[in-house]
Chain A
Amino acid sequence: MDGERQFTNRCACGWEISGSEDVVVDATIDHGRRIHNMEATREQVLAALHAPAVVDDEAADARAG
C-alpha cells in the first residue's frame, strides 16, 4: 500500500478523528481548545499518536482461542 499512513485519535468524551497525521493533529488541537479548554502543542498530540499502543491481531486471535 503506497497511501499516506492513517492515524486515529479518540478523545475520552467520545469524539474521534481519523486521517493523515496533519489532519489528526490539527483536528485534535482544535477539538481540545474548543471543547475542553486544552492548549495542546503539535508535539503533545504527536506523542499521543505515536505512543506504543499497537494491537497484534495474531496474538489477540491466539488469546481468543
Chain B
Amino acid sequence: MSRAPAGWDVDSPVQAEVFVVWLDRDRLQLTGPDGPQPWILQLGSVEHPVEVVDRIVRDVVGPPIVVHSTSWRRDRDAVILSFVVVIGRELVGTMASLPIERADLARSEATAAPRAIAASAVVEHGLRHLAWLAKDDPVVAAELPPDWRPLLAEYIPEPFRNLG
C-alpha cells in the first residue's frame, strides 16, 4: 500500500493570478517562480490585491516595473483577479520562460460570461490592456521601457474587462 502525495492549493474566495512578462530582445516571454504557468496568490479579506501582488513579486522575483490588474472572472471556486506584471530581463534568472503567442479573446455574450476562458486568452487580453495603458496612462507610459512600445503596438488596445 502506498500513499499519494497530499494536495495543497490556494483556496481563498478571492485570488490573484499573476502573469509575469518580460521582453527578450523582440519577443515577449511569460515566466514566474513556477515557470510560465499562471502564478496564483491568496488574497485575504482585508488585503489590497495590488499591494499583495507587488509585495510577493518584489520578494520572490525582484522589483517589478509595472503591476496592473487587467481582468477578472470566476474560476477555481473563487473570483480571480488577473494581473500583468512587467519585469526587466535581469530578474528572470533561472525561471523558465515561454514565448507569448497571439491568441483569440474569450468573448462574452451580451449579458453573460464566456463559457470557457483559456489562460492564453487572459494573457492576450492582459497585453491588449497594457497596450491601452501605454497610450492612455502617463505613469505606465513613462515606466515601460521604450523597446516595449513597438511590440505592444501590435496588440489592439483594450481597457479592463470582466472575462467571466
Encode A19-39 as 1/0 by CB contact (under 8 A) with B. 000000000100010111111
Encode B1-42 as 1/0 by CB contact (under 8 A) with A. 111111111100000000000000000000001110101111
Given A16-B5, A35-B34, A51-B6, 17 additional A-B pairs, CB 8 A: A7-B3, A8-B3, A9-B8, A12-B8, A12-B9, A14-B34, A14-B37, A28-B8, A34-B56, A34-B60, A35-B60, A36-B40, A37-B44, A37-B47, A38-B42, A45-B8, A54-B3
Interface SS of A by simple majority:
mixed
Taking a contact as CB atoms under 8 Å apart, the answer to whether B40 and A13 are in contact is yes
Cα distance A55–B1 in the bound complex, in angstroms: 7
Taking a contact as CB atoms under 8 Å apart, the answer to whether A55 and B42 are in contact is no
B1 partner, pick from A28, A51, A54, beta carbons under 8 A: A54
Any B CB within 8 A of the CB of A56: yes
Taking a contact as CB atoms under 8 Å apart, the answer to whether B3 and A53 are in contact is yes
Task: Output the least CB separation between B48 and chain A (Å).
Answer: 12
Interface SS of B by simple majority:
mixed
Any B CB within 8 A of the CB of A42: no
Taking a contact as CB atoms under 8 Å apart, the answer to whether B6 and A7 are in contact is yes
Task: Output the least CB separation between A54 and chain B (Å).
Answer: 6
Any A CB within 8 A of the CB of B43: yes
Nearest residue (CB) in A for B11 is: A38
- List 30 interface pairs A-B (beta carbons < 8 Å), by A numbering: A8-B3, A8-B6, A9-B8, A10-B6, A10-B7, A10-B8, A11-B8, A12-B8, A12-B9, A13-B39, A14-B34, A14-B37, A28-B8, A34-B60, A35-B33, A35-B34, A35-B56, A36-B40, A37-B42, A37-B47, A37-B56, A38-B10, A39-B44, A45-B8, A48-B8, A53-B6, A53-B7, A55-B1, A55-B3, A56-B1
